A and B are shown apart, each in its own frame.
Chain A
Amino acid sequence: MAFFADPKIALGVKLLEVLYIVMGIIVGYAGIKTLFEKDHKAPVTTAIFWLSLAVILIFGKWLPPVVSGILVVIMALPAIIGKVKPGTVNAPDSKYTRQLAEKIGYKIFIPTLSMGLFAIIFAVFTKISPLVGVGVGVIVAMILLMLFSKDNKISTFFNDSKRLLDQVGPLSMLPMLLAALGAIFTAAGVGQVIAEIVGKIIPKGNLTVGILVFAISMPLFTIIMGNAFAAITVITVGIGGPFVFALGANPVVVGMLALTAGYCGTLVTPMAANFNIVPVAILDMKGRYNVIKNQLIVAGFVLVFQIIYMLIAK
């Protein structure tokens, strides 16, 4: 409590912490509700996953780092053995949603757009993190939804968000885990080693060559790994840092474009099964690679566009 009362700590920092606490409560609710679901396939392990995440989100700031680290491992274990399962689905039936669509109409887009809108407002007009803006947008959206329909109670929001959390499951933790892996790579000095090896292959001190190698290795590694998030942590440290940013290129422009250059790899690899193979089954398609085939040309154009963009805006 002393943290929130301390006048020396900026309001934005406090609000961000409040946001994390609310996120922790939402996840914690999902964990506790899981324990009470009678026909759940793996209630205890699923609850361990969501509840340890909740503890890290809520108390992370005050826990010693080693305890947070142990909690991350505890959270990961049920996921690794495949024992984090979705619970009873409470999807709204289409009769009900059609009825509400008729009642609410196009007004539904106002709460839909409010999260992004407040993120931008906070980013442009305040020094507070845009993530807090997202949180404010969520509150505005909730109020609007409650005004639109009396059926929308606080419990509705909790139960509907549990449904979506169940859907995404442990893989939603991938960006945070990859960031942690990146931190270990940095601490262990992996970047220097890659830089030494790559330095033997490509000439040092040539920014154009550096950018080309950076922009092409991103989709290439993404094609092999199936995940641009995994590629960006490794490639930025190994190639982006020593061969692009160290030579004076703008890290914001080139570093960000490298990620979306990687997305061009995601569009053409069967390794990204969620996006490219699963829809084939969902849509009853005949050709296993017909989604990828339709993405090939687009991915090629967008990659070339981004490389030129990097070279111009560096």
Chain B
Amino acid sequence: MIKLIGVAIVILGFALKLDNIAIILVAGFVTGLVGGMDIVKILETIGKSFVANRGMAIFIIVFFVTGTLERNGLREMAAKLISKLRNATAGAVIAAYGVLRLILAAFNVSLGGSAGFVRPIVVPMAVGAVEAKHGEPDEKHVEEIKGMSAAMENVTWFFGQVLFVGGSGALLVQSTLKNLGYSSELVDLAKVEIPVAIFALIVASIVFNIKDKRLTKTLYASGKKGGK
């Protein structure tokens, strides 16, 4: 029973928003000590595991080009690609961003998150789509467009990144399974997630388009079409 103290430390620590790294180290040392390990053995276990899992730091080598991709106009071209949608509704713009983001996430490339891409590009494009059809957009509609864009950003990133062969999530699952005595290949772990990623993208796109349509119907009088 006392061995569970480490689990309790992790759950409480994360829930109380204490420093994540401190929680993990404290939980590790306390669990090791109550589990009959000495300090040297604990340090050895940490060192061995950390070295064996250096692959989880693969983001470092990915960063080696992503920063320069940004410098060379990646965001601008992504924006241009989305803007090719003509006569789009706000919902369609958000869905198009979802498709692009999911594909790029599967290649482990982010366009810059909420601050780097959603705020400067996706939201203005979606709001612009509303303006083109209905004139001044309703405040409530704008708030929901922001919420849906941020939600699309998260959903496609979470479920897209697990498609990347060698993503940190799959590596963590692989090492956790290995501790239990099961071996797994990264490419198989990625394959498992393909249906989930497609389903998540479709559901998000449908839900957000229905919501956008409903908002458009209730917020703008039908006679106002095209008025600017």
Contact = CB atoms under 8 A, between A and B. Distances in A.
Interface string A34-63: 000000000000000000010011001101
B73 A104 contact: yes
A233 B63 CA distance: 26
Residue from the set B22, B44, B72 with the largest chain A CB neighbour count within 10 Å? B72
Interface in B25-56: 25, 27-28, 31-32, 34-37, 40-51, 53-56
B172 interface: yes
B199 A224 contact: no
B96 to A, nearest CB: 15
A98 B75 CA distance: 9
B193 interface: yes
| Size range of the chain A interface in the assembly | 35 or more
B55 A131 contact: yes
Contacts of A69: 42-48, 50
A253 B75 contact: no
Interface string B53-87: 11111111111111111111111110011000000
A71 B3 CA distance: 26
Interface residues of B, number: 118
Interface string A276-288: 1011101111110
Nearest to A102: B73
12 contacts: A69-B43, A101-B77, A120-B187, A134-B61, A183-B46, A236-B176, A259-B170, A267-B154, A280-B150, A283-B123, A287-B147, A294-B144
A3 interface: no
A184 B48 contact: no
Contact of A306 (B61, B72, B196): B196
Given A190-B7, A291-B151, A237 B71 contact: no
B216 interface: no
Contacts of B114: 278-279, 282-283
A213 interface: no
A111 to B, nearest CB: 6
Interface in B149-188: 149-151, 153-155, 158-159, 162, 164-166, 168-173, 175-177, 179-180, 182, 184-188
Given A190-B31, A285-B143, A116 B150 contact: no
A302 B203 CA distance: 8
B3 A230 contact: no
A216 to B, nearest CB: 16
Contacts of A124: 187
Contacts of B14: 224-227, 230, 271
Contacts of B48: 65, 68-69, 183
Contact of A129 (B55, B68, B119, B146): B55
A111 B28 contact: no
Contacts of A293: 147
A295 B148 CA distance: 8
Contact of A97 (B71, B81, B187): B71
Interface in A129-171: 129-131, 133-135, 138, 141-142, 145, 148-149, 152, 156-161, 163-165, 168, 170-171
B115 interface: yes
Contacts of A302: 155, 159, 196, 199-200, 203
Interface of B: 1, 3-4, 6-7, 10-11, 14-15, 17, 19-22, 24-25, 27-28, 31-32, 34-37, 40-51, 53-77, 80-81, 104, 106-109, 114-115, 118-119, 123, 143-144, 146-151, 153-155, 158-159, 162, 164-166, 168-173, 175-177, 179-180, 182, 184-189, 192-193, 195-196, 199-200, 203-204, 207-208
Nearest to B76: A101
A190 B7 CA distance: 8
B62 A115 contact: yes
B19 A123 contact: no
A285 B172 contact: no
A142 B194 CA distance: 29
A106 to B, nearest CB: 6
B159 A255 contact: no
Contacts of B61: 19, 22-23, 26, 134-135, 138
Contacts of B176: 179, 182, 232-233, 236-237, 255
B53 A252 contact: no
Contacts of B36: 188
